[in-house]
Structures are given as C-alpha cells and as structure tokens.
Amino acid sequence: METDCMKMINKGLDDEMEVWGYCRSRWRVALVGVGTLCTGGLLLLLLYWLPEWGVKSTCRPCPLKEAQILLLRSTDEFRRWFRVRVHVLQSPGLSPFDAVDLQTSPAGGCGIHPYPDVSYTEPQAMQICYFNHHSMQYFWNDTIQNFEAINGMEDLRLSCSSLLSEYSSGLSRPQQDYRKLFFGENEIAVRVPSLFMLLIKEVLNPFYIFQLFSVILWSAEEYYYYAAAIVFMSVISIAISLYTIKKQYVMLHDMVAAHSIVRVSVCRGNKEVEEAMSTDLVPGDVIVIPSNGTIMPCDAVLISGTCIVNESMLTGESVPVTKTSLPNSDMEGKELYSSEQHKRHTLFCGTEVIQTRFYSGELVKALVVRCGFCTEKGQLVRSILYPKPTDFKLYRDAYLFLLCLVGVAGIGFIYTIVLSVMNQVPARTIIIESLDIVTITVPPALPAAMTAGIVYAQRRLKRVGIFCISPQRINVCGQLNLICFDKTGTLTEDGLDLWAVHRAENGRFAQLEQDPGTDCEMDSPFLACMAACHSLTKINGELSGDPLDLKMFKATGWLLEEATEEETSLHNPIMPTVVKPPKRPKVNESEVTATPDHSMELYELPDTHELGIVHQFPFSSALQRMSVVARWLGGKRFEAYLKGAPEVVAGLCKTSTVPENFTEVLEDYTRHGFRVIALAHRQLESKLTWHKVQNLNREHIESNMDFLGLIIMQNKLKPETADVLEDLRRANIRTVMVTGDNMLTAISVARDCGMIGPQERVIVVDAQPPSGGHAAEILWHYTDSSSALTSKDNSIQFVEIESDGGPSNGRLRGQYHFAMSGKSLAVTLEHFPDLVPKLVLRGTVFARMAPDQKTQLVEILQSVDYYVGMCGDGANDCGALKRAHGGISLSELEASVASPFTSTTPNISCVPNLIREGRAALVTSFCVFKFMALYSIIQYVSVILLYSILSNLGDFQFLFIDVVIILIIAFTMSLNPAWKELVAQRPPSSLISVPLLFSVLTQIMVCLSFQALAFIWVQHQSWYEKWTPLSNACNATRTGLSIDPNITHPTDHKNIRNYENTTLFYISSFQYLAVAIVYSKGKPFRQPSHKNWPLVLSCISLYIFLFLIMLYPVSAIDNFLEIVCVPYEWRITMVIIIVVNAVVSFILEQSNDRWGTRFFAWLFCQNRKTPKTRYSQLAQELQDDLDWPPRPQTCTYGKAPHLSLNL
C-alpha cells in the first residue's frame, strides 16, 4: 500500500523497488555518534553493513517530496536495501520535454522557433529533486507525487507519424542544453574505482573485520607468529581480490569506451548541420548517418533513408540487418513508437552501421530516442555492473551453519568465563581466553577455503573452452535439472541447405524441383521471388545477409548489383538494387531512356530479365514474413513479392491459388524436420508511381496475393546433439526446446534428436484468445504418426486418433509431451494461469517464441522449483541466458557478455561439461565446509579440555595445525577433477539436511570421544604427574631412549607444556587428517581422491612427519612445538587410539553414505511422502487426476478451466 512516505518505482519491471523518504534527525545522529564512541566504531560498521538500520537510526520518516535521504528495497526474492541521497536540480522547467519560455512546440516541419538563451541562475528557475541509483536518474514528478526514471522519447508516447512531423527537424542549441540538464552526458561511463576505494570496500567486509579482531586478540595473547601468518594470508587474499576486481572493471571499461565517443553531424532545424561530440546528444536531436558507416553512440530511429547494420553486439548474430525509415502511412503511422516493436527501424547504441543507401540530395537521418545508460547497450552494461545476487540454498544454509558455530562458541565463551572465575584467573586473561574461543570456533580461513573449489573448477572449465564471468554460478550449475535449448544454431547447424522447391500452378502443386536455377523458367514469378525477396546487400564486394536468404538467392544462380555512390549522385532518380540472371550483357547507358512524365520514376530499360528492388518491408518476427516491391526493368507495373511462414503466407493469398492439399503437403514436410518457406506474388495497380509505392503500408501490399509454392530447406542436426541429449536423459535432466521456428518442424527435430521418444505422443496446446463474445479456449490436439493438419488461419487441426493399444480411457501415463507456440503461451498465461504449471511440467517443445517469451518461460520453470539451464547461440537468447540459473552462450560476440558462461565450442557438448564441473565444485564446497567445521570443532574441543586444567595449545602448535595441516589439506582436497560422466543422482543442495547433519554430528562425537578418552587416560597413567621442566617420564620407563630433560627452560606461565597438551596435540592432528580423508568424496561426482596427487602427497607427508616426531621425538622439534616427552608405551597407546579413531570415522561415514538417506527417510518420513519441490508435488497430484492429460479433440474453456467437453 503506497503512502506519502512510501511509493513504488519501476512498477512491473525487473528493477521494481519500494522507496521510503527520510529527513536527517540531529539528536539521532548525536546518539549514534555516542554509540560509535562507546563501541569503538563497531556500531558504525554495523550500520554500514545494514543500510536500512543506518538510515532509520539517523533519520526520521517524512513524505517523499521533502526527503533528503531515500531508502530503497527491491521487491524481488532478495529484498535488498539501498541508501541514496536526494539532490536538487535548478531548471527552468519540470520536464526535459517542456517548451520552456516558448509558446510553441519543439521545432518541427511548420517552422523553427529558436529558444532564447536560458539563464539557470534566474529567480524563476525551478528546483527539481532527483536521485541516482545504479547509473539511472530518477526525477520527482509532482503529477504522480513520485520519482520516475526519464528514459527518452518513448516517455512521450507519440505515434510514429507524430515523431516524424514534430521532431524530424532537430533541436536548437538552447533546447539541447536544456535537455542536457536532465539527461546529462550521452556516455556509458564505467567508472574504474581507485585501488584505495576498492581496498576500503574490501577491508570493511565482515570477514576481514573478524580477521582483524582475531589478529588483535592473538597479539594480545602473544600469539605473534600465528597472527602474522593470518595477516600474511589476508594481505595475499585482498591483493588477489583487488587485482581481479580491478581487472574486470578495466576490461568492461575498455569494451564500452572503445567506440562510445565519436564525432557526429547534428541537424539544427533550419537545414543547418553542425559537427558535435556524441556526448552532447540528447533525445530529440537529429543526426546524419554517414554513408561510410559509423558506430552508433545512442539509440536512434531512422526518419529517412536505409542502413545496413551489424547488431552482433546486441544479438550475438553477426548477420547484417537492413533498417528502414520509420513508417508514416495511415495504419502503421498511428502506432505508438516503441523501440522493441519498431526495432527494424531503430539503430541501437553500440551497433555498427556498415553502409547507408545514398540518395542524391537527401541525407540519411535518425532521431535520437535514448542516450547513455537508457540505451539497449547501457541496459546490457548495467546488468553486468549490478547483477542480481546468486540465490542458492547452499549459501543460505552456510550462514545458518555459521550461526550454529557461533552458538557453540557462545557455550564455550560462558564455560571459559565460569571456569576462569572459579579458578581466580586474572580478568585480562579471562577476557582474552573467552574471546579466543570465538576465533577458534568460527575459522577465519573458511571463505577462502570454500572459494578454492570454485576457482579450480573455473580453471578446468577454461581449459575446455568455457569462460565464466560469474564464478558463484558454477556451484548452482551442479543442481541443474532442466536445460532449455534454442534450436537453430544450437541443436541444428547454423546454415540451411535448399533441399527442393515445390511450385504451385493453377491451384495445384507441380512436381518437386531440385535446382530452381535451371528447372524454373527465367520469367517465372517463383524464381523472381526467390531472387528479389530478401535483405541481402554487398559489403566490400561480397554478398552478406541472413543465411537463409543467402542460400535461397544462390540457388537461383542470379547476380545482385547495387548502385555505387558515384552512380547515384549523377541522377535525381533513385537507382534500385538490381537482380538478374548470370551472363547477361550489361545494358549500355545510351539505351537508357527516362520517362518524361515522372522525374522520380525508375529508369526504363529495354525488355530484359533484370529486376529492380525499389522498396522493402523487412522480415518481422511478429508478422513472420517479409516482402519487397520490385519492377522488371522496362516493365510498366510494379510487382510485390512475399515470403514467410507457410501458414501466414497462405492466409494472405487468394483461396483459389492455394492448393487444396496445402495443409497435408506442409505437414508432411514439417513432420520430417524440413524448414518450409512459402512464396507469393501479385502485380500492383498500374496507376502507382514510385512516390506512392514508398508511402504504401505493408497491409495493402501483402494482401490478395497469388500463392507461388514452397521452398523446402533442410536444417541438419549437429553431430554431437543426439549423444549429448541422451547423456542428459540418462542423468535424469529434462531437456526442452525453445525456438522461433515452426511448431511441426520443432516437434520433428525434437523426435530426431531424442527429446521425444519414438513411442511418445505430443499434445499440441492451441490456445485461442476471446473473440466474438466467446471465452478464451484451449484446443487439445494429439499428434504422432497420425495425420496432423495445419490450416491457413495458423491453428492446428488433428483428426481423431486411435488409442493404439493404450488405456481405453484415453489417459497417458508418462508417455506424452506438450508442445505450444508463443501465442498459445501468452493466451494461457492470461486466461488459464492455473494450467501453466501443469503444461510446463510436461512441456517439451515451445515454438514461435519471441525473445521475451523465452525469458518468461525460464521464469515460469523456476517458479515450480526447477534449476534451469539455458543454452543458445546468443541471437535473441540473451534475456533467457541471463535469467537462467546457468546460461551458456555458444556465441563469443559482445552480446554474450551478459551470459554467465560462454563456450568457444559451437555445440551443446559444453552443457554436460558445465554440469559435471558444477557438480564437482558443489560436492567440493560441501566437503570443504564439513572439513572446516570439523576442524574448528576439533580444535574447540582440544582447547576446552585444556582450559579445564588452565592450559592451552601453544603458539606454534596453532601455527602448525592451522597452516601446515589445515590450509594445505583444505586447498588440495579441492583439486579432485569432475567425474567423467553424468549420473542420474544429483548432489545435495542443502547443508541443513538430516544425512549431512548426521555425518557432521557423528564425526564430532567420534572426535570428542577419542580426545576425551586420551585426555582422561593420560591422567591415569602410573607415570603421570604435573609436568615441570625437571620431569623425565621418558627415562622413567624406557632407559634406551636418551632425551635430555628440559632443565634450561624457564617457568611456563601459560602452562603450555604438559602431558595433556602433548597428547591432545597428537590425537587432534591425526583427527584432522582422518576427517579430511573421510570427507574427500570421489565418485559419482568427482574423480577418486587417489587421483588427486597433491592431496595424496600432502596426507602421506603429514602422516610420516607426525608419526616420526611422535614415535621418534626430535628435541628441536619438541621445543619448537612446545610438546613434552612421554613414555614410549604411551606413544604406542596413542597410535592405537589414532588408528581406531580413523577406522570408526571411516565406517560411520561410509555407512551414512550408503544407508543414511534411506534410513532417515524411513525414520522421519514414513507417513509423510510429500515431495519438497513444487514440480514433484504437481507430478504426484497429476498421477491421481483421471482427467489429465485432456483427451484428444477436446476443448477447455476460460470460464471453466478444468471442464473438458468432447468436440
């Protein structure tokens, strides 16, 4: 609920936030200052880590309009808090689009009204509150009483025709300066923080503050060596972290800054063009696109001319795209301009304009619509600079586990204080030793040790050509259980091969033709359509464009010629792109005769087979078609040629020209996996001139066409696809196809690659929106080897299917898949939301999906608790790649920088590699976490036992344990490579699970028991006495061993040297090694530990060293480690304790691995079998639902989603 003090900004967007207003309170600030002094700065640190506490403790709530400080909270699952300061802008107007000091609108075609010079220091200047957050500015809007982001021209919600009429002349200099107050510099500025700022931010991390506290405490205890070791490791860790962060900032800065600032030509409204820097551009400026191309410094919509653009930076697809000017016709001109809807007319920031269509006397112009971080490229960079946190149960559980350790430390803290007070220990010693328990229980090296496994996995991934920009995602990839794949370029080859053409004549299909270039007549409309209906262009003399267009055009054998700049500048008429058959003599210029009636008409050439393309309607994924207007050179009438999705094209043609068996033929091709393109043609009215053609809308052109036939393209599976999908299936990982291609083609490819089994049926979900007073409905069509028909209205109709030996009631048990189009998904989401989880549970094929629908599908799958991976080639997949738990791009182009993973191997074999390494890294994290937890508890037990006799471990004992044993083992046990194949079992994702907790608790009990046993046992030995420098227990029982008594040592004030200390030091040292070996798991997720030679070598070396100094003591080492000589018989006894301890630990862990899960499932969940994940719960519910899946040829209506009626 919004109030004066709390509002919502960015409603409905990814970065939606709640915002509260606060004003500073002097008495609260003073109170916090006193608290900071009393706590030695600890309160200030706490308020730094918790910004919401910081704001609430120093400020009072107030209405947003009066706020000095704002508190922001994201509305996503992370609920992150941000603190921002409110600034004030002095401006003559309240909005950048206000006509300040003028009575007229911005300069348009009706005349230019230059702004007077604006003085921003005059009294009438208004004050506008604004704040910056994540590189975006939010300004106060009095109308809505809230802050809002100002993005650009789209905020005006103008139609295309209004944009052209009101803003095509550009802005005057004063207008530009005024708007610049709001929009600032047109620059995507990635500020590289100074090393000092990065250092401060890193050092203020709670982990390093805790380390600083530990070092101060150890120094007070005179544990200088161990404190120095921790300081050294921390300095190295901070240095590496700073280097990595700085390097990432520099790389991003260099990538963005490479072409961010260029010189541009700006139109000033009175046909004056001036040179300016791109940083001065604001929305509303009109710039001239140079004929030799440029890098776009902003988002701009073409208002005149045509451009060939390389958009690989945004789409990941390096195919040049043709951009045409914004339409101004009746229908399209009335549409509200949207950069997404009109992207075929919009030049996006960072994309490269390769060349422009040069027209004599007319400049190619574009209207700036967005600048800076508001552009598409700016949004991409923002997603990298400010990524969402990784939400993974492991990390949440790790914090809970640490809290448990803190609780254990609290018990030790109280125990130490009570014991010390009872023994009348000095207050200073009580404080130091009680706090020391905390530093022992929560190991400072834990984060570094857990990160090691991820770093090693990242290096291994790099060796197989997979690069990672978000290392924390590697662990998440170990839990992936569903992978979405794009089809073209991912599962199948990038290129298409022309298999055949199937022409239609007189309403009937002719015979198949393999080579249209030779089999078709030269003047055939079908061949002309293949040659002319495309968006190809020549770049540096080479044909370039969409691969499908290239294959289609090359199959004709025709040639394409484009007018050069010199040829165009010689004449007023526009020189078209010409396509013509090969080996035709070039027309002599003397034969050219101009039409006297129309000075802007095409040249009329002698009758020859040359076709001039005069206007183009580019391919639209929403319309699923493209068309061109052309004229035979020498001809009198214009011709329209159309190509696109067969069901769409057939619907635009005269019924009499579409063969009666069109749907059967089309279904037969698509069912066999061919990609089918339909062609159509018609002659335009003879009265049309070139000018009229340019202003015609495409609805007029693309209607009442004559159906020409079909082009059948073959899209082969990549060799690795089927095997990889089979590996994923065996690993119990679902695979889903998400494509923009035809439904039946996608189903066929899904069958070919093994996503859908040969005996499994597909249920096509055909959802229709409400129309004609009827409610929305879903038609359920079953398809397998039976006949499936695609009708002209783009819906799919199926004949009744026999059950083929299936259940008599028509139910399918685990043998069906849903397939649906993007349109059906949108209708289902709006009118049947309760059916969506059921559909995605069995949804395998999603066809005709727009880029934003791919992202939406990933979110839906995540909402039912799937861990979703996404693999695509970067073209239209960027949003889904970013949103998935593990997105892997097969494109190395700039667009893939937003994807967590990028593969240099252009096939899906990278997916199982990533999952295997993710599983290995995840298991490694569990192993290291359990090992570090046991290490802290083992050391905690040792210290607690020694505290009972007012003793402790020595400085060098701590140093030996923490550095020589723990760090070496923790970093080498992370080196196990991933297992060579995927298994059906997935590693656990939670630390708070009964088997895992049982594993930790049993090992704690074993270690506690054996330490307590040794501690008590040594005190009951016959030779035991309170140790003094004159003690000689060794010689008292074994005369053959000559050890000099340490009579030169001064009195040990800390009581380090004693028999209990020595015993516990040896026992605990071997316990660390035993626990490390027990927790170093191998199969089925990692290679066996014996193949990890650094770990094996480390363990063997440590075992040899410890056994050597225990059985054959060396005086120098004993003195260094502050251990005392004990009888040889006790050493043998300790060996027995150590061996039995290791055996018990090993047996318990193996038993827990083998039977623990089943035992605890039986013990705790015998009467409660409800699965934890939502998709498993749903699957269980549907097993008992007799009406699911819906029966063949039934319909579900919107008003009664669960009611199914026979048609």
Catalytic residue ranges: 486
| Backbone phi, psi, residue 830, to 5° | -80, -40
Backbone angle region of 680, left / alpha / beta, with phi > 0 → left and psi within -120 to 50 → alpha:
beta
> How, if at all, do strands 482-485 and 868-872 pair?
parallel
Name the 3-class secondary structure at 240. Answer: helix
The Cα–Cα gap between 542 and 1049 comes to 89
How far is the C-alpha of 412 from the C-alpha of 944, rounded, in Å? Answer: 7
Q: How far is CA 1193 from CA 292, 818, 833, 1185, in A?
A: 58, 14, 21, 19
Give 1-70 as a DSSP string: ---SSEEEESTTSTT-EEEEEEEE-HHHHHHHHHHHHHTTTHHHHHHHH-HHHHHHHHEEE--GGG-SEE
Q: Which segments within 151-208 are labelled E, that is strand?
A: none
Tokens of 266: 């700006």
Q: Cα separation of 241 and 336, whole Å?
A: 48
What CA–CA distance (Å, rounded) separates 1170 from 1185? 16
Give the residue from 98, 189, 113 showing the smallest Cα distance to 381: 189
C-alpha torsion sign, points 1085, 1086, 1090, 1096? negative
Alpha-carbon distance of 1128 to 31, in angstroms, equals 64
**DSSP-derived pairing of the beta strands 611-620 and 577-580:** antiparallel
- By 3-state DSSP, what share of the chain in percent is helix, strand and coil, each rounded to 5? 45, 20, 35
Q: Which residues pair with 1197 in a beta bridge?
A: 777, 1200
* DSSP 8-state secondary structure symbol assigned to residue 271: S
DSSP for 589-654 reads: GGG-B--SS-TTSPPB--S-S-EEEEEEEEEETTTTEEEEEEEETT-SS-EEEEEE-HHHHHHTB-
Kindly report the backbone phi and psi dihedral angles of residue 588, in degrees, each rounded to the nearest multiple of 5, phi listed first: -75, 140
301 and 326 Cβ atoms separated by less than 8 Å: yes
**Token pair recorded at residue 168:** 């095509």
Is 238 exposed, middle or buried, given 0-12, 13-18 or 19+ CB atoms closer than 10 A? middle
d(CA 819, CA 828): 13
Residue 246 CA to residue 388 CA, distance in Å, equals: 20
Please compute Rg for the chain using Cα positions: 37
Q: In 806-937, at which residue ranges do the beta strands (DSSP E only) sit?
A: 816-821, 843-847, 868-872, 886-889, 901-903
Fill in the amino acid letter for 1191: R
Q: 531: which residues sit within 8 A by CB, 6+ positions away?
A: 553, 556, 558, 579, 611
CA distance 1049 to 63: 73
Residues facing 83 on adjacent strands: 71
DSSP state at residue 702? S
Closest by CA position to 632, among listed 614, 616, 619: 614
What is residue 140's DSSP assignment? E
In the sheet where 559-561 sits, what is the strand order?
Answer: 508-513, 497-505, 706-714, 674-683, 639-644, 625-632, 611-620, 577-580, 559-561
CB 128 within 8 A of CB 89: yes
